[in-house]
Structure 1
Amino acid sequence: MPENQGLGQQALNKAAEIGLSSQLDEVENLDVEVKTDPLKLVQGQVDAVTIEGEGLVMQKDLRMEALEMQMGSVAINPLSAAFGKIELTKPTQASTRVVLTEQDINRAFNSEYVRSQLQTQKIHVNGQLMTIIPKQVDFRLPGNSKVAISSSILLRETNETHQVAFSAVPKVSGTGQTVSLENVEYGDTKEISPDLTKALIDATSEILNLSNFDLEGMTLRVKQLEVETGKLILQAEAYVEQIPSA
């Protein structure tokens, strides 16, 4: 009964698509494909699981332009599979590719979450403790493996507005969990406060922290970060304990 063979896999695909979608704030397109044959499925063996998504918005208003995840030889509970649910009987690895555009990162920088994070800090400017209010943060990916950040910052206590602008090279930490900015260079504007620059660098690291992209049951570890003009590409290894399903 080839129809039923196909239906079993379709049910698993659908359940995983619904489960993953439920963890996201917005989804433009999400496609899960379970590849196996019915005989293997009955034994709890799956040849491969592929997840492809576009325009996925995570918590903290962080949007991914594209997500691709590929798992090979996955062991699942055959009884759960009969009820259209993917339940892993042992963890698996997945090679993962995440694409973030300049607009995606700008959106996150100007989100309520990041703005409130910056505003809760008191930083030293010209020897005084100040509260900073970011008016607008402009994040750019000009190429040359660099990121460029410029921001108009209001100092609440003095009501002065300062421009901060610098470029830096993003680097993945040894653990693969965080991204730091190195080789910071200033443009025409002189640095008005090392603390202010550090606050913006920390905000960048916070946005690009890989735990932001973790879905329930999945943990990402970045192996490579490619900085292209207009987009960032993260090549990662995902440790998958569970694929969320409906």
Structure 2
Amino acid sequence: MELLTILLSGLLGLLSPVGGVVERIAENIIRSQFQQVEQLRVRVDNVPTHQLLQGKVQRVRIAGRSLQLRQNMTIAVLEVETDKVDFDTDNLNRIQLQQPLEAGVSVVLTEQDVNQALQSDAVASWLLNVTVGTLGRRTEQSQQFNFSQPKIHFLANQRLRFQVQLTEDGVEPLQITVESGLGIVSGSQLQLIAPIVWVNEEQVPEQILNAIATNFSQQFDLRSLQSAGIQARILQLNISPQKLEIAAFLHLETSSRLLKQLQL
């Protein structure tokens, strides 16, 4: 969601009727919202040029390399291409789309960059305060577990491996390893394929695996974005050693509440 907000904010630069420097303005706005950028290019197709003054752009293309988000997550490669953009020019302080915005997005994440993000303070703080319902009890009690040392490996054949250590007061730490394929269901949900889970090298029963797989699909369901006026579909997902590649399609409604957060 943060990445989408950054890209939309770059459209604010298109509101400035400065002719040839419009691309540089949009690029600077996007660049300023990343922690660090190795390379970024923005191209705006607005022929005839007077259409820009009317809030109409034929196409916007964004390409970047090594873009670091504020959560210490780095995107190795980012490519975005929009369809026609039509916005209201009466209010230059806020984006108001005249028609839905559609765009194709392609992202490449490296194993090294993902693991660096997993070591960030934000992720560490979340892992240290995970509450899990107590298994096998008929009460509403819950247990507090601490997860630490998370690490991910991108494997061949569309599979990945995730490792994390679980600790609880007075109990010897457990080493949890999850290996699974990753697939797409109806373009909107991520699905674990043939998952295997080990706890201290002991394989977890299939019944628990099924519960884990079901919960994973529910957590990574892009249909949850529809309430914010965003429709998203994953078109392609490729996992290979050292990297993960995702291609997606985004449709942003004119009434999306995400647009209301953006202003000059």
TM-score scaled by length of structure 2 = 0.67
Distance 1:217 1:15 in 2: 27
Tell me the amino acid that sits aligned with residue 229 of structure 1.
P
Distance 2:181 2:244 in 1: 12
Distance 1:72 1:172 in 2: 25
Tell me the amino acid that sits aligned with residue 145 of structure 1.
Q
Distance 2:124 2:213 in 1: 11
Partner in structure 2 of residue 102 of structure 1: 111
Matching of residues 80-159 of structure 1 within 5 Å? 88-118=97-127, 119-122=129-132, 124=134, 130-153=143-166, 155-159=167-171
- 1:181–1:205: 8 Å Cα contact kept in structure 2? no
Deviations 1:102-141 (A, max 9, x none): 1222223333333333333135589896533233112000
Given candidates 62, 66, 70, the residue that maps to 2:81 is 70
Matching of residues 149-228 of structure 1 within 5 Å? 149-153=162-166, 155-174=167-186, 176=188, 178-186=189-197, 189-191=201-203, 220-228=232-240
Report the CA distance shift for 1:140/1:152 in structure 2 as closer, same or farther (over 3 A). Answer: same
Deviations 1:3-57 (A, max 9, x none): xxx951322x233223333443443332211112324434543222101122223
Aligned length: 232
- 2:156–2:239: 8 Å Cα contact kept in structure 1? yes
Secondary structure (helix, strand or coil) at the match of 2:234 reads: strand
- 1:143–1:230: 8 Å Cα contact kept in structure 2? no
Report the CA distance shift for 1:9/1:165 in structure 2 as closer, same or farther (over 3 A). Answer: same
Report the CA distance shift for 1:59/1:174 in structure 2 as closer, same or farther (over 3 A). Answer: farther
Unaligned runs of 5+ in 2: 1-16
Report the CA distance shift for 1:202/1:28 in structure 2 as closer, same or farther (over 3 A). Answer: farther
Secondary structure (helix, strand or coil) at the match of 2:58 reads: strand
Tell me the amino acid that sits aligned with residue 246 of structure 2.
L
- 2:72–2:117: 8 Å Cα contact kept in structure 1? yes
Distance 1:14 1:217 in 2: 29
Tell me the amino acid that sits aligned with residue 110 of structure 2.
T
Partner in structure 1 of residue 60 of structure 2: 49
Report the CA distance shift for 1:120/1:179 in structure 2 as closer, same or farther (over 3 A). Answer: same
Greater relative contact order (Cα 8 A, min sep 6): structure 1 or 2? 1
Task: Give 1:64 deviation, angstroms.
Answer: 1.5
Distance 2:170 2:210 in 1: 19
Tell me the amino acid that sits aligned with residue 19 of structure 1.
I
Report the CA distance shift for 1:199/1:185 in structure 2 as closer, same or farther (over 3 A). Answer: closer
Distance 1:168 1:180 in 2: 9
Worse-superposed segment, 159-168 or 51-60: 51-60
Report the CA distance shift for 1:181/1:106 in structure 2 as closer, same or farther (over 3 A). Answer: farther
Tell me the amino acid that sits aligned with residue 141 of structure 1.
F
- 1:164–1:191: 8 Å Cα contact kept in structure 2? no
Deviations 1:130-180 (A, max 9, x none): 533233112000111001112233x2312412211221112234362x534
Report the CA distance shift for 1:18/1:165 in structure 2 as closer, same or farther (over 3 A). Answer: same
